[in-house]
Chain A
C-alpha cells in the first residue's frame, strides 16, 4: 500500500505533467548519446528527483529501476569509520554525502574515484559511463565540492554526475561552470489542480470539488508533494469529498500558531518563559529549528496589521535565521527572535496608543 505520492510518480519523461519544453530538451539530450554533468535545482516538491529518475530511465532503460541498497564503510584519515547508505543499480549510484556531515569529502573522494576509475569493459554496452546522483548537493562542504572539481573533468569518460539541490547559492563557481544547470520551478496552482484531479481519477474515488482542489493547491505553497499528501489525508478524513471540507493541517503547524498567539497576547519576561517551554516542546519533537522560525515568522506577519511592522518582523526573522544557521544551539536564537519580536511589537502597540 504505497502512498499516492509514490504510486503516481511519473516514471518517464513523457508522463511528466508540467515543464513540457524542459522534458523535451532533456529527451533530446539523452537521445544524443552524450550527456553533460548536471546540476538540477529548484524548490522542494517541484519534481527534481522525479525528473532525475526519468532521465536515468531514458538513458538506460528499465534496468535503472532495479535498485538495491548497500551500506558502505568509509574510513577517514583519522581512522574513523563512517557508514553510508548507497542506492545503486547496474547503471547508477545515488548517495547523500551530507549524511556524514563534515566527513563528506572522504566519501566524495573515495567513492567517486572508485567509480570513475572503473571502465566499462563491454564495448557494446549502451553507455560507456556510469551516473552518480548526489542528493542535497548544497549541503556539501566546500572541501567536498573542491574535491569534485578535477574528478569531474578528468574522468568525464566514465562518469557523469547529477547533483540535486534546492539552491545554487552554496555551490562553488567552479562546479557550476562544469555543469549544465537545470532549473525546475515549482508548479503553478492551476498545474497542481490538474495533477490532483488526475490522481483522483486514477484512484477512482469520486469527484473532487474544484474549490477544494484549489484550496489544497494554494495551501501547499506550490509544493506538489505536499499537495498530494494533503489530498490523501483529506480523503482519509472525509470521503466522498465535500466542498467546504476542512483541509487537515499538521499538528506542529497548529502548535506554532498557538506560540504566535502567546507572543502577541502579552509581552513580558513571564510570557517569554511560557514560549520557551513551547519552543522546547517543538524542538523535542524533532521539528527543524529553522522551519520553526520560518513558520512562526510567517504566522506573525500574517497576523499583525500595517506594512511597517510586517517589514520589521520580516527583517528580524531573516536576521535571526542567519544567526541560527551559523550558531550552534538553536534555542538561544529562537528565544532571541521571540524576545526581539515582543519588544518590537510592544513598541509598535505603544506608539499606536499615543
Chain B
C-alpha cells in the first residue's frame, strides 16, 4: 500500500491539488457539512442516545427511521455505519439502495438476498468490527408492497449476519409486518435553536455575511428542514456574491414564498362578493407564477390568526382548503382551483 501512496504524493503535480481544492469548493454544503460522526448530529438527542447504547452492546436491531425530509435520517445511519466499521470497511459491509436504484421484487430476491447471506469474519486487521453487515434501504416508502413483503422472511432468516435499516418519510407506507420487525425511531423537525447553531457555524466557516433577521427567516421558511435551510443559504450566498450581506428579501425570494402583500390582497377579496375582483386577483397570482399550493399553505397560516372569523367559519374554510389540496395533488388546474376556493370561501367569510 505504501508504494502506491508514495507514488501518488510524488507524482501528484500542483494542478491535481488545485483541481481537488476546486472540487471541494464546488461541493454542495449539504454534503460538505453532513455530520461525520454520531456526536455531530444535532437535535435528535433521544435517537442518538439510544443508538449509541445499542452500538456499545455490539448488537444492533433492525432499524426503521421515519420523519419529514431534512431531519437527518440518512446522515444518522451513514454516521452510525462509519462509527461501527471505520472508513475502510464501510464499503464492503454496507449496501445502500435507494429509490434511484431498481428495487422491484427481483432485486430484493437476488441482490439483497445475496448480500444478506454472505458471511463476514469477526476481526479484520486491528479494527474490531461487529460480525454483521448493514443494508440501508433509503426512501423505503417508495418500494412496492410486493417488494416489501419479499423482505419479510429475508430479514428474519439472515438476522444473524445482516441488519436492515429502512428509511422513509411516511411510516404508514411501510407494511405492518416489516414495521413490527424493526426498532422505530421518529425524527422530529429540527428545533430552531439547533438549526440556528448549525447555520451560524456554516456561515462562520464559509465566511458568509448574513443579517440575524435573515437567519430567523431562513429557519422559518425551511420549516425544520435543515437540508432546505442549508441549500437556501448556499444559493443565497452564491446569488448575492462574496461581499454583500444576505437580506431577508433574498431569502424570501429563493424560498419561493409568496409575498405578504399578495396574500393580503387575496384575504381582502374574501370580504367582497365581487366575482370580477376575485377573478382578476387570481389571474394575477397565477400569471406571476406563484405556486397554488404555496398560496394555499400561506393562506392557511393566516386563517388561524384571523380574528374577524368565528370558529364555525374557520372550520368551513378549512374544509374548502382540504378539498383544494386534494385536487391540486391530483393535478387539477391551478387557476380554476384557486378560483373555486376563493369563491367558496367568500360565501363563508362575508
Listed in ascending order, the chain A residues whose CB lies under 8 Å from chain B are 25, 28-29, 32-34, 36, 41-43, 46, 77, 108-109, 112-113, 123, 128, 142-143, 146-151, 153-154, 156-157, 167-170, 173-174, 176-181, 183-186, 221-222, 290, 294, 297, 301, 307-308, 310-311, 314-315, 317-319, 321-322, 325-326
Known: A108-B100, A109-B102, A181-B255. 16 other contacts (CB 8 A): A32-B241, A34-B25, A36-B28, A41-B291, A113-B100, A143-B99, A167-B292, A170-B328, A173-B69, A178-B231, A186-B287, A221-B283, A314-B279, A314-B343, A317-B336, A318-B339
> Does B307 make an interface contact (CB < 8 A)?
no
> Does B157 make an interface contact (CB < 8 A)?
no
Smallest Cβ-Cβ distance to B144: which chain A residue = A143
Listed in ascending order, the chain B residues whose CB lies under 8 Å from chain A are 15-16, 19, 22-23, 25-28, 30-31, 68-70, 98-102, 104, 106, 138-139, 142, 169, 222, 225, 227-228, 231, 234-235, 238-241, 254-256, 273-276, 279, 283, 286-294, 327-337, 339-340, 343-344, 346-347
Asked, given contacts A174-B69, A186-B289, A314-B343, whether A325 binds B332 with beta carbons under 8 Å apart, the answer is: yes
Asked whether, in the complex, the Cβ of A34 is within 8 Å of the Cβ of B238, the reply is yes
Asked whether, in the complex, the Cβ of A149 is within 8 Å of the Cβ of B100, the reply is yes
A-B contact pairs, 7 of them (CB 8 A): A28-B241, A46-B289, A150-B138, A154-B100, A156-B31, A185-B288, A290-B333
Contacts of A321 in B (CB 8 A): 332-333, 336-337
Smallest Cβ-Cβ distance to B293: which chain A residue = A169
Q: How far is the CA of A109 from the CA of B26 in the complex (A)?
A: 24
Asked whether, in the complex, the Cβ of B142 is within 8 Å of the Cβ of A184, the reply is no
Q: How far is the CB of A324 from chain B (nearest CB, A)?
A: 8
Q: How far is the CA of A128 from the CA of B21 in the complex (A)?
A: 13
Asked whether, in the complex, the Cβ of B289 is within 8 Å of the Cβ of A143, the reply is no
Which one of A28, A170, A180 lies within 8 Å of B254 (CB-CB)? Answer: A180
Asked whether, in the complex, the Cβ of A128 is within 8 Å of the Cβ of B26, the reply is yes
Contacts of B333 in A (CB 8 A): 290, 294, 318, 321, 325
Asked whether, in the complex, the Cβ of A153 is within 8 Å of the Cβ of B31, the reply is yes
Q: How far is the CB of A273 from chain B (nearest CB, A)?
A: 26
Asked whether, in the complex, the Cβ of B327 is within 8 Å of the Cβ of A322, the reply is yes
Asked whether, in the complex, the Cβ of B289 is within 8 Å of the Cβ of A153, the reply is no
Smallest Cβ-Cβ distance to B138: which chain A residue = A150
Asked whether, in the complex, the Cβ of A222 is within 8 Å of the Cβ of B239, the reply is no
Asked whether, in the complex, the Cβ of A318 is within 8 Å of the Cβ of B340, the reply is yes
Asked whether, in the complex, the Cβ of B291 is within 8 Å of the Cβ of A77, the reply is no
Q: How far is the CA of A326 from the CA of B15 in the complex (A)?
A: 57
Which one of B102, B106, B289, B292 lies within 8 Å of A184 (CB-CB)? Answer: B289
Q: How far is the CA of A123 from the CA of B23 in the complex (A)?
A: 10
Asked whether, in the complex, the Cβ of A147 is within 8 Å of the Cβ of B31, the reply is no
Asked whether, in the complex, the Cβ of B336 is within 8 Å of the Cβ of A314, the reply is yes
Q: How far is the CA of A290 from the CA of B330 in the complex (A)?
A: 14
Asked whether, in the complex, the Cβ of B286 is within 8 Å of the Cβ of A177, the reply is no
Asked whether, in the complex, the Cβ of B30 is within 8 Å of the Cβ of A153, the reply is yes
Q: How far is the CA of A315 from the CA of B347 in the complex (A)?
A: 12
Among B19, B238, B274, residue most surrounded by chain A Cβ atoms (within 10 Å): B238
Smallest Cβ-Cβ distance to B98: which chain A residue = A150
Smallest Cβ-Cβ distance to B234: which chain A residue = A36
Which one of B16, B104, B239, B346 lies within 8 Å of A29 (CB-CB)? Answer: B239
Contacts of A142 in B (CB 8 A): 142
Asked whether, in the complex, the Cβ of A157 is within 8 Å of the Cβ of B238, the reply is no
Asked whether, in the complex, the Cβ of B227 is within 8 Å of the Cβ of A168, the reply is no
Q: How far is the CB of B289 from chain A (nearest CB, A)?
A: 4
Q: How far is the CB of A34 from chain B (nearest CB, A)?
A: 5
Asked whether, in the complex, the Cβ of A36 is within 8 Å of the Cβ of B235, the reply is yes
Asked whether, in the complex, the Cβ of A109 is within 8 Å of the Cβ of B293, the reply is no
Q: How far is the CA of A110 from the CA of B339 in the complex (A)?
A: 40
Smallest Cβ-Cβ distance to A34: which chain B residue = B26
Asked, given contacts A186-B287, A318-B340, whether A156 binds B228 with beta carbons under 8 Å apart, the answer is: no
Asked whether, in the complex, the Cβ of A318 is within 8 Å of the Cβ of B238, the reply is no
